[in-house]
C-alpha cells in the first residue's frame, strides 16, 4: 500500500506541484464530485465525502472528512486514503453514529497520508 501512496503522491507532485495536504485535497476534489454523507446530529462530524481517483490502471480511494468547529457553521477538512470498501462500510453505519463509524472505518487510515488532525 505504501508503494501506491508514494506513486500517487509523486504523480500528483510532479503534475501539479502539490506540496501540502490542502493542495492534495483540492486536487482529489477536482477529479470528480464524490459521494457525500451528511451527519446532521453528530457533534463532531458534519460530512464525509468519498472520492475514487484512477491513475493509469490503479484506482485509489479517498475520504474527505469535515469536522465541525465549535460555535461555527464552518468545518475543518482532512483527507484520508482509504480502502475500496470504506465507503460502503461507512455509509451503512454513519447514521447510528458518524463519530463511531469514522473511528472504525476511516481513522485507521490516518497514517497513509498523514493529513488528519493531530
pTM: 0.82
Mean pLDDT of 100-115: 95
End-to-end CA distance of the chain: 22
pLDDT at 4 over 70: no
Mean pLDDT of 40-49: 94
Mean pLDDT of 33-44: 93
Amino acid at each position: 500500500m505504501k508503494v501506491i501512496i508514494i506513486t500517487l503522491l509523486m504523480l500528483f507532485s510532479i503534475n501539479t506541484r502539490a506540496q501540502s495536504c490542502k493542495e492534495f485535497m483540492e486536487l482529489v476534489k477536482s477529479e470528480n464530485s464524490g459521494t457525500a454523507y451528511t451527519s446532521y446530529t453528530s457533534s463532531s462530524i458534519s460530512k464525509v465525502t468519498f472520492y475514487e481517483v484512477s491513475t493509469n490502471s490503479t484506482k485509489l480511494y479517498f475520504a474527505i472528512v469535515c469536522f465541525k468547529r465549535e460555535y461555527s457553521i464552518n468545518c475543518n477538512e482532512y483527507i484520508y486514503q482509504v480502502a475500496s470498501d470504506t465507503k460502503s462500510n461507512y455509509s451503512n453505519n454513519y447514521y447510528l453514529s458518524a463519530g463511531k463509524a469514522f473511528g472504525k472505518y476511516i481513522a485507521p487510515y490516518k497514517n497513509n497520508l498523514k493529513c488528519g488532525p493531530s
